[in-house]
Structure 1
Amino acid sequence: MNSNTSFESKNSEIAINPKNPMSDSLKEIKSQLTALHQSMAEVQEEFASLLKSIHPVNRESGLNFLKYLILRKTDVRDLQLLLHENGLSSLASCESHTHRQIQVTLQHLGSKFGELDPCTMELGTKKIEENSQRLFGEKSENWPSAVMVTFDASFLKEKDLISKLLKKGMGTARINCAHDDESVWQEMVDRIRLASKETGIPCKIHVDLAGPKIRTKLLAKGRKKGRVKIENGQTVWLSNTSKGFRAKDTVISPNEPGVIEGLKPGDRVFIDDGLILAVVEKAEKDKAELKITRISSKKPFIKNEKGINFPDCSLQISSLTDFDRECLNFVCANADTVGFSFVRSAHDIADLRLALQEIVADIPFIILKIETHEAVKNLPSLLLEAMKDEVCGVMIARGDLAVEIGFERLVEIQDEILWLCEAAHVPVIWATQVLENLHKSGVATRAEVTDAGHAARAECIMINKGIHTIEVLKTLRDISQRSVALRIKNRLVFRPLNIAKDFF
């Protein structure tokens, strides 16, 4: 027996042999883990009605998710350090089997259980894999993740491009209802199915609903040219009408009713993907006075059709628009999965589900696009509502999400979404700007290569439109293979999550 084996045996004896007195640190570990175990043991009874509303195949997953929230509302950083120092599991990779991991660790400290939690790591991993396959199909050969490719009308002009995409790893084709029209979407579907039949490579169809189009529309100055010059400190107005304003005033319509009414003084307003920041000075029923406080663009203009984000208020608008409802017949006839843009609440999901069921009994699987600060805050209730369906998924839509929560918070929030979804056994799509520079210019930046490596942690990676799609797929496969080979999980430190605290 070598020295390492001898040390491990002695350490194990201290932990499990009741004749050996425990050190103070092991007693503290056992005390804290026992408290967590007891809290988790009460979850099933406490949330019995909620768990009953979840689809039967997801109830074990829902229960594990609630137990994970118990863990993550608690500050266990000191406990993790003690666990690690004593050669025990630090709980850093327990998302898919939370209670079971705590019980097994307690067993090493002498605790006995009549029955262990049935949600094992093997069960959790298998559940995520099965759900991923239902959503995205079988992963292509040599790919650790599924791949979703955003379609553009230009794809229809290039012969054999779709076949090439399939052969390079595309398993899901994404059609965005915010662009083109139904005739183009249908041609895309028909061409995808034809290429799939010819190559023998299956391909899922994902359709993203457009959601509320909160975009700039100039009403007074700059209306004819479609743009207006601005400067720091300048006053601009938000209004749905130009009445009552002078021709020289800069008046912007958010192009969606119900937005202005929710604003209050001090609220931030981001324009053009966050390049322009304004703050509400005064808010009235039909107009709001804004002060420009930052312009990050080299060209200081507000243009038509640029996105507007309101991260400090709850907008009184429906996530499912009239236009979305008009698209649902096409969705039900063609889509395997449907992306719910700008979803904010559990009620939104119930609304979409009902609208789909009015058209067809066997509805497409719903993918929640997390892209607002409200969706982040409400993620637990969103997941539990979505789990009423047999299979569901989540897309981390990092474009609007980064503007809504602040670019500096994107790293932590996208990690939190990954953790929570793994605990619920819900597959995740990593989306927006994956190898974007390579896609547009043919050359990848160092930063986006690192980002693509992180993307491999998700069950599916989405790439946007560009002119170098084939090269992006090749590069992404190589990066993903190398990244996955380096790790299964990182060692995580569990500071308490506000998302979990807010849920309880």
Structure 2
Amino acid sequence: MHSDLEYIKEQLCLLEEKMLKEAEKKQALINSLHSEQVDSAKNLIHYLVLRNQDIRELQDLLHIHGLSSMASSESHVHRQLQAINERLGKTYDEQELDVCTYAFSKLKIGEKSRLLFGPKTETNVPSVMVTFDSGFADDYAMIKSLLQNGMNVARINCAHDDEATWAKMINKIKKACHQTGLECKIYMDLAGPKIRTKLLEKGKEKGKVKVKEGQLIWLAEDDKGFEADDIVISPNEPGILPMIKKGDRVYIDDGVIRCLVEKVKKDRVGIRVTRVSSEKGQIKAEKGINFPDTLLDIPSLTEFDKSCLPFISENADIIGYSFVKSPEDIRALRTELKQLNDHCLPLIIKIETPEAVKNLPSLLLEGMKEQAFGLMIARGDLAVEIGFERMGEIQEEILWICEAAHIPVVWATQVLENLHKSGMATRSEITDAGHAALAECVMINKGEYTIEVMETLKDIVQRASAHRIKKRFTFRPLKIAERFLKL
């Protein structure tokens, strides 16, 4: 018993020493952040130090002795460690105690969520972001109903429609807010690089073409040198083909069509269809293409995105940034925005690539140079890029790390999607919707049953949040933490 307690004290002492040293090492970086983000950044670094260790044996011993096992302490990790030490008899001077307590961190993330998403009527229920359909531009009654049923944020995707349509949507949102007395933030999502299927030969006229497993199809930027029966697809983004290597995977339509690169030529890439996960077995125009093994060196901020920024800067409350991979991407957008306005719009970065996951701590710290900053887990593209089997693990890791940084998270893609499209939810998506209670905001996509989805989501989340705020986890080392601390 005594030796256990001595071991616990020794390990906690070592952990605290590492936390303080790493924060001191990163002090210049911390000082570059917005003053309201400084304490949060220190807590993030302390948490990454913790998650760079394997403390599962220590956690078991803490649990056995009736002490906090450090699980669910993401938001106040150093102060939690100090509290355990105090229970074991260690005394701290007042100035040594970390200001980032549980109460402090709860207040911080609440303040940041309100800055991004506006006020909420129910504390434990996430804000709701609704994706606008083109038809909403001429449907004031629908917008008013969405607002009355709990919509906190209206999402306008700049990949669709045009400024005239966006303006109609925004005017109706503002009118509904004025008439109901309810608040709604306007979130405009940059389109980002449009890596989507464009059929060049067979299927070009109909906008779809049948494929089967074992078939060789082609990626090319134009249709020169092909036969009429060849299936030729343009990824609709210049410069991608030279980056592709033999053996790389290519996924089309959220992974429904899976291919492997077999031939790499100067002006074309031959890909072999290895799996077709739909009965129709069709490739349609304007479907997403993912290259999970290919390092795509293309800018996150496109010329089209830049052309949208003046309208967004004038009309939006929040800007969504697609295809973010590195801190440089955030700096590039910030530079463009500051040319239009002295004050940058609050930014929400979308995590949808393996590079974004790997660089997550650095992305957060760059974003924290502004007072209001958030993150969206774009689960559609992210699942295809990293592998569906890893999605559950990765979305948990993102939630933990954002909790440590007090960064609000938007839980997005396929939330109650079957209910939205058909009017009936599947059992698995009900469970997934309950998990959304861990985020600060939930995004709903377009569909026929938006009001029903909002009502169901609210009921599920209320029940889930009554049972838990966080789970208890054991802490094996995280690769994300290891990579960041080596910088």
| TM-score normalised over the length of structure 1 | 0.93
Q: List gaps (5 residues or longer) in structure 2.
A: none
Distance 1:227 1:467, change over 3 A: closer
Q: Does structure 2 conserve the Cα–Cα contact (< 8 Å) formed by 1:280 and 1:288?
A: yes
Q: How far is the alpha carbon of 1:180 from its aligned partner?
A: 1.1
Q: Map residues 5-404 of structure 1 onto 2, 5 A cutoff.
A: 23-114=2-93, 115-141=96-122, 144-404=125-385
4+ residue runs over 6 A deviation: none
Question: Deviation per CA, 1:454-487, whole angstroms, max 9, x where unpaired?
Answer: 1011111111111211111111111111110001
Distance 1:401 1:223 in 2: 29
Q: How far is the alpha carbon of 1:225 from its aligned partner?
A: 2.6
Distance 2:27 2:77 in 1: 19
Question: Deviation per CA, 1:229-251, whole angstroms, max 9, x where unpaired?
Answer: 22212211211122233333222
Q: Does structure 1 conserve the Cα–Cα contact (< 8 Å) formed by 2:137 and 2:165?
A: no
Q: How far is the alpha carbon of 1:153 from its aligned partner?
A: 2.0
Distance 1:490 1:404 in 2: 27
Q: How far is the alpha carbon of 1:451 from its aligned partner?
A: 0.9
Q: Does structure 2 conserve the Cα–Cα contact (< 8 Å) formed by 1:258 and 1:315?
A: no
Partner of residue 443, structure 2: 462
Question: Deviation per CA, 1:66-100, whole angstroms, max 9, x where unpaired?
Answer: 11111111111121111111111111111111111
Q: How far is the alpha carbon of 1:155 from its aligned partner?
A: 2.2
Distance 1:175 1:143, change over 3 A: farther
Q: Does structure 2 conserve the Cα–Cα contact (< 8 Å) formed by 1:143 and 1:169?
A: no
Distance 1:143 1:98 in 2: 22
Distance 1:228 1:170 in 2: 39
Say whether residues 1:491 and 2:472 are aligned partners.
yes
Say whether residues 1:416 and 2:397 are aligned partners.
yes
Distance 1:127 1:212 in 2: 34
Secondary structure of the equivalent of 2:261?
A: strand
Q: How far is the alpha carbon of 1:29 from its aligned partner?
A: 1.6
Q: Does structure 1 conserve the Cα–Cα contact (< 8 Å) formed by 2:137 and 2:166?
A: no
Question: Deviation per CA, 1:16-48, whole angstroms, max 9, x where unpaired?
Answer: xxxxxx622222222221111010111232012
Partner of residue 420, structure 2: 439
Q: List gaps (5 residues or longer) in structure 1.
A: 1-21
Q: How far is the alpha carbon of 1:285 from its aligned partner?
A: 4.3
Question: Deviation per CA, 1:355-397, whole angstroms, max 9, x where unpaired?
Answer: 1111111221000111111111111111011011111000111
Secondary structure of the equivalent of 1:279?
A: strand
Q: How far is the alpha carbon of 1:163 from its aligned partner?
A: 1.7
Distance 1:485 1:362 in 2: 39
Q: Does structure 2 conserve the Cα–Cα contact (< 8 Å) formed by 1:236 and 1:292?
A: yes
Computing the radius of gyration from Cα coordinates, the structure with the larger value is: 1
The letter for the 2-side match of 1:272 is: D
Secondary structure of the equivalent of 1:456?
A: helix
Distance 1:211 1:153 in 2: 19
User: Number of residue pairs matched?
Assistant: 483
Q: How far is the alpha carbon of 1:416 from its aligned partner?
A: 0.7
Question: Deviation per CA, 1:258-279, whole angstroms, max 9, x where unpaired?
Answer: 2112111211110011001111
Secondary structure of the equivalent of 1:413?
A: helix
Q: Does structure 2 conserve the Cα–Cα contact (< 8 Å) formed by 1:140 and 1:170?
A: no
Partner of residue 471, structure 1: 452
Distance 1:101 1:284 in 2: 57
Q: Does structure 2 conserve the Cα–Cα contact (< 8 Å) formed by 1:237 and 1:290?
A: yes
Distance 1:280 1:23 in 2: 61
Q: Does structure 2 conserve the Cα–Cα contact (< 8 Å) formed by 1:68 and 1:95?
A: yes
Secondary structure of the equivalent of 1:474?
A: helix
Q: How far is the alpha carbon of 1:141 from its aligned partner?
A: 4.4
Question: Deviation per CA, 1:125-179, whole angstroms, max 9, x where unpaired?
Answer: 1100000000000013476111111111222343422222111111111111111
Distance 1:382 1:285 in 2: 35
Distance 1:123 1:159 in 2: 41
Distance 1:316 1:286, change over 3 A: farther
Q: Does structure 2 conserve the Cα–Cα contact (< 8 Å) formed by 1:209 and 1:338?
A: yes
Secondary structure of the equivalent of 1:42?
A: helix
Distance 1:263 1:217 in 2: 18
How high is the sequence identity, in percent, across the aligned residues?
Answer: 57
| TM-score normalised over the length of structure 2 | 0.97
Distance 2:123 2:16 in 1: 40
The letter for the 2-side match of 1:329 is: P
The letter for the 1-side match of 2:105 is: G
